[in-house]
Amino acid sequence: MSIRPWVVVEAPDSRGLRRVTRGSETVGSAWSPSDLRRILRRLDFPDDVDLDDTAFICWRGGDSDTWPDRPWRRRVTLVVMTVGLLASLVLSAMVGWPDAAGALTFAQRMTGVLFVLTGLVQGLAAAMALDYWGRRQFRMSGAIVLLGVLIALATDSLLLFMWLEETEYTPYLLMFLPLWCWSVWALVVLVREDCWKGVPRPKRFAAGVVVTALLTGVSLAYSTMYQPTAAPMHLSLQAKFGAARADREAPFLHVPLSLHVRNTGKIPVYVTNDIYTVRGRGAKYSEFTGSEDMLREWRESAGKGNALGDVERYAGNLRRTVISSSHLYGPGKWLEVGQQYSVEHVFQIPEDAVYGTVAVTMQVSYMRKDRGKLDVDEFKNPHYTWHESEEGFYCPWERCGQRLVYSGRVRHNNNLINVTRKPRFVWATWAPGTAPVTSVSSLSRWDRTASKREVRRELDRYGAASIRADAEIAVAELLRSAGL
């Protein structure tokens, strides 16, 4: 029998794990006597070997009864840590994948890819947690788990901060709020255990984490704040009357009208509402009788047709009559950069019309396409408020008038906003001869009213705007072009 013991059981470490060596070779580690017997069995020791027999086993830092491991505490910590990291992986993927796969800007896609990559790091950290709370065969396992927890804490803190801006209920709140609490607990546990001790160069590791966090913050700020507002948007509208033609059978004039809209900005836009309206203006012509009459005419015309009102020296009793009104391009469509749309329309007026002039007003409401993605398949379908079959949109025409209502879900180009806010909907209301109305709010039903503050905030958030153009021609000029 050799004088040297065959197996040496080292003193337990801070967790209660005892390293087992034979000669200069580490043959395993044990949490309990059963683990030690399993190792001895693998080394061809008999099953009933006496653990106190110094001829076979040498004990250091305690005898065969010294097993300070607390298995239930260690296993519960492992389970909670692993489940939290896996849940953080799922959250990062849910936040990042929509942007990585379908964002409209390159910067936002890269931000989405970054979230997906951080999710993969958290998945790796979950795997390393099994080793770190196990036998620690990898020196970097603790540092990787710490990195995964720091990513989770940063992500959950960002989501919580954005949610606190408006404190709206969202199903994601039930996920990132508990995960934020979990990440704080996990960080405290890892700091107490000095989990970074296995890192060969801890200062470089810390510097890499800080630099990565700074780059992530800069990327988020650029994609969320600067990039969506840097590119200007602008539409140009043009309306032109053509030469009138007299009808061969009836005493009417056919007046051609050319309407043009062009995206002259740097980004594509959604058209959320539009209208063109042709009006004939009648007046009573007379000599000027005094400034009081002019002010009276202005008061009566203000807010009708021209919202600022008209002041005419030799024309009184101004009245406008709608001749023709319709959509120009159509809600739910979009214009790419440089794209132009033109339409030719012909309307009729009687040869003996009492109008002095004929005017056309064009108005287009639009929204930046790089701020959000509109569900155009849903939005482009009109709902008729006077149809009883239109559930959620029906309203007796005697009370609400006869209007078309368009509605569709809009998702912000930054998915961080989508997961920390209620769903947003674009609403557009259209009626012939009246100014079109467009709003964005969290309301999913037309028969409810959103606050003006919310509508203004959401219109600004999604980059909504409108543009108007007018053109006018004298009826005498139309008669002359028709040869009358």
> For the residues 71-98, what does the mean pLDDT come to?
91
- pLDDT per position as a tens digit, 336-390: 999 999 999 999 999 888 888 999 999 999 999 988 899 999 999 999 988 888 8
User: Where exactly are the structural domains of the chain?
Assistant: 7-59, 72-230, 235-481
| pLDDT number for residue 216 | 63
- Mean pLDDT, the chain, integer: 83
The token duo for 227 is: 């990039």
**DSSP annotation of 111:** H
Q: Does 4 have pLDDT greater than 60?
A: no
Most confident of 132-141, 229-238, 417-426: 417-426
CA distances from 47 to 36, 55, 189 (A): 11, 16, 38
122 band by pLDDT with thresholds 50, 70 and 90: very high
pLDDT computed for residue 200 by the predictor: 65
Cβ atoms 436, 274 nearer than 8 A? yes
8 Å CB contact between 422 and 163: no
What pLDDT does residue 142 have?
85
User: CA-based angle 35:40:45, to the nearest 5?
Assistant: 145
With tokens 């693998």, the residue in question is 42
Q: What is the dihedral of CA 152, 156, 157, 162, to 10 degrees?
A: 150
The mean per-residue pLDDT over the stretch 130-138 comes to 81
pTM: 0.77
Query: DSSP character for 304?
Result: B
pLDDT, residue 67, reads 76
d(CA 43, CA 22): 10
pLDDT for res 225: 55
In whole angstroms, what is the distance from residue 424 CA to residue 382 CA? Answer: 18
User: If you average pLDDT over residues 67-91, what whole number do you get?
Assistant: 88
Q: Is residue 92 scored above 80 in pLDDT?
A: yes
Locate 30 and state its tokens: 């044990």
| pLDDT for the residue 205 | 64
Query: Is pLDDT above 60 for 3?
Result: no
pLDDT at residue 196, rounded to an integer: 72
Q: What is the pLDDT of residues 187-226, one digit of tens each?
A: 999 988 877 776 666 666 666 666 666 666 666 665 555 5
The beta strand positions in 70-205, using DSSP E, are none
- Look up residue 162 and give its two tokens: 């954005």
Task: Identify the band that residue 295 occupies on the pLDDT scale cut at 50, 70 and 90.
Answer: low
**Percent residues over pLDDT 90 in the chain:** 41
Quote the pLDDT of residue 1: 45
- Residues 440, 459 contacting (CB under 8 angstroms): yes
Percent of the chain with pLDDT over 70: 84
pLDDT of residue 273 exceeding 60, the answer is yes
Beta-carbon contacts of 368 under 8 Å, excluding residues fewer than 6 positions away, are: 228, 233, 267, 269, 270, 462, 463, 464
**Higher confidence at residue 271 or residue 195?**
271
Mean pLDDT lowest among 176-185, 237-246, 267-276, 399-408:
399-408
